[in-house]
Structure 1
């Protein structure tokens, strides 16, 4: 018969929890799912905090959690939007939709620029061990667009 002391049992449970946590963190670093700080590709300044989630069927979407710097105005609305998001609050708005994994990239979705109200095709990929996310919005072909590099938040 094997007997465990309370201390040995609690150390075993803690070790299992740490392994599960490390496994989850590694899995999250292989996916855009998580919280990101966006960096403006023109100014290099932090612009917003966004959260990317999986919708349950492998499709990713993203919403704006908080504006940063001059964008930190909770009352800001998407006055330039022409779809159902017209005049919606930007904070809490879903601005990335329909992203599906294709190899090392996620693509096939759309991204909204809340400043201009324009919708773009979107693709994204991870860099630096999942700590950076390169997001490209484009019209037609990927060459006609621009990219931003976002930084994973802990």
Structure 2
């Protein structure tokens, strides 16, 4: 009986360590679900950020780089979308990256956001307004 209990405790401990995450596990490039863009997540100080590292259609119909034309700040509307920082100020807490924001260049809106690794190669991105219950989740795939 004692041997079975010890084995059970050992298996539980191993399973918890398999799911344990390091704060830097999120670093790297991630492909959005539609395949239209890649976000490169990087660290600046103790916070995490993400920028558009690649987009499927980087140029507009005139062959010029697409700009952040929907940005609510008029002076930023000429900034290229490629390289745009869309994830900002995330901190790592208890296996999640929280208290950050995500910017949607298609709408010009910024949302509260949290990030969670579902596995080493799948990132859950939850954008929301005020509370996490009102929002949308997308799953990004790690770029190898």
Bin for the TM-score computed over the shorter chain: 0.7 to 0.9
What's the TM-score, normalizing by structure 1?
0.71
What's the TM-score, normalizing by structure 2?
0.76
Report the counterpart of residue 61 of structure 1 in structure 2: 49
Whether the aligned pair in 2 keeps the contact of 1:75 and 1:89 (CA below 8 Å) is yes
1:127, distance to aligned residue in structure 2 (A): 1.1
Report the counterpart of residue 4 of structure 2 in structure 1: none
Are 2:75 and 1:81 equivalent residues in the alignment?
A: no
1:82, distance to aligned residue in structure 2 (A): 1.2
Distance 2:92 2:22 in 1: 14
Distance 2:24 2:44 in 1: 17
Segments of structure 1 that go 5 or more residues without pairing to the other structure are 1-26, 40-44
Where in structure 2 are the equivalents of 1:1-154 lying within 5 Å?
Answer: 31-39=25-33, 45-56=34-45, 58-68=46-56, 71-73=57-59, 75-83=65-73, 85-128=76-119, 130-154=120-144
Q: Secondary structure at the match of 1:46?
A: coil
Whether the aligned pair in 1 keeps the contact of 2:23 and 2:92 (CA below 8 Å) is no
Distance 2:76 2:143 in 1: 27
1:29, distance to aligned residue in structure 2 (A): 9.2
Distance 2:68 2:30 in 1: 21
Q: Secondary structure at the match of 1:31?
A: helix
1:30, distance to aligned residue in structure 2 (A): 5.9
Whether the aligned pair in 2 keeps the contact of 1:29 and 1:131 (CA below 8 Å) is no
1:114, distance to aligned residue in structure 2 (A): 0.4
Q: CA RMSD in A?
A: 1.9
